[in-house]
Amino acid sequence: MRAVRAAETAPTLHPWLVHAKELRVRAGRHLAVDGLDLTLTAGVHGVLGPNGAGKTTLMRALSTVVKPASGSLTLLGAQVDGRAGLREVRRKLGYLPQQFGFYPRFTVREFVAYLAWLKEIPKTAIPDAVQRAIDRVGLTTKADAKMKTLSGGMLRRAGIAQAIVNDPELLLLDEPTVGLDPEQRLDFRDLLRDLGADSCVTVSTHLVEDVVAACTDVILMNEGRLLFQGTPDDLIARGGQGDQGDSPAERGYSALLRQHRGNA
């Protein structure tokens, strides 16, 4: 019998929950993510960048919806290379796509329960998990309303509920605040902080102020690459009086893009 080394039975330690190296991902024929290096741990990571920067394509790769064209991507310790073995990672993922499909006749509860079933949550645990997710996004009174009767902002919240129903270790939210009213946006910031306390939450948005208020980490993408990664304070420190923007963070954002374009 072969001797088993201690290293073979030790738990796998992966300091990064997401680790991308020289990552390239196609959107159609276009290389929308083009040589991205990124490491993420627990916390709330806000992904900013101009239209077409590759944010959605990155989120699709992190959610395992599209497979990388090249480079390496490790999610929750598992190498994503297009082959088998993704089932375990997918059970621990939550993903709100920019546009998501649903059966319009489903109630919110049925929609979230369906996703809970897909995530392989044990049958007996589903009703409580669904109720908790619906409560956390503030849709308690709409739990038994049909999806087709919801407003845009409510639909978005139902989408967030399905993404968090399995208490994911890696949560990916693509433009989650679109359509939310100001009060709901403030509630959502609280939810983000709560979720990021012990999991890795990645939020793509155009709202620099949401990132500053609710994120531990800012990621700025441009043309498929990482331009900047730092704290909201680091972003603010990059801006000057002459830079475009209505707030210190927006000025920091503009300054980083301007400097990059100047150097390109």
Ligand X SMILES: Nc1ncnc2c1ncn2[C@@H]1O[C@H](COP(=O)(O)OP(=O)(O)OP(=O)(O)O)[C@@H](O)[C@H]1O
Instruction: Count Cβ atoms below 10 Å from residue 195 Cβ, excluding itself.
Output: 23
H helix and E strand count, the chain: 10, 10
Residue of 151, 56, 146, 59 whose CA lies nearest to 102: 146
Q: How far is the CB of 224 from ligand X (least distance, A)?
A: 7
Q: Which long-range contacts (CB under 8 A, 24 or more apart) does 75-80 make?
A: 75/17, 75/18, 75/170, 76/14, 76/17, 76/169, 76/170, 77/12, 77/14
Question: 56 or 177: whose CB is closer to ligand X?
Answer: 56
Residues that bind ligand X (CB under 6 A): 27-30, 32, 49, 51-57
**Which runs of consecutive H residues, i.e. helices, occur in 87-151?**
87-91, 108-118, 126-136
Q: How far is the CB of 261 from ligand X (least distance, A)?
A: 16
Q: How far is the CB of 101 from ligand X (least distance, A)?
A: 17
Question: 30 or 261: whose CB is closer to ligand X?
Answer: 30
Question: 60 or 136: whose CB is closer to ligand X?
Answer: 60
Question: 29 or 83: whose CB is closer to ligand X?
Answer: 29
Question: 130 or 218: whose CB is closer to ligand X?
Answer: 218
Q: How far is the CB of 18 from ligand X (least distance, A)?
A: 17
Instruction: Count Cβ atoms below 10 Å from residue 27 Cβ, excluding itself.
Output: 16
165 burial via Cβ count (<10 Å: 0-12, 13-18, 19+): buried
Residue nearest to ligand X (CB): 28
Question: 99 or 141: whose CB is closer to ligand X?
Answer: 99
Q: How far is the CB of 194 from ligand X (least distance, A)?
A: 26
- Return the percent helix, strand and coil in the chain, to nearest 5: 40, 25, 35
Q: How far is the CB of 152 from ligand X (least distance, A)?
A: 17
- Cα 115 to Cα 59: distance, rounded to the nearest angstrom: 19
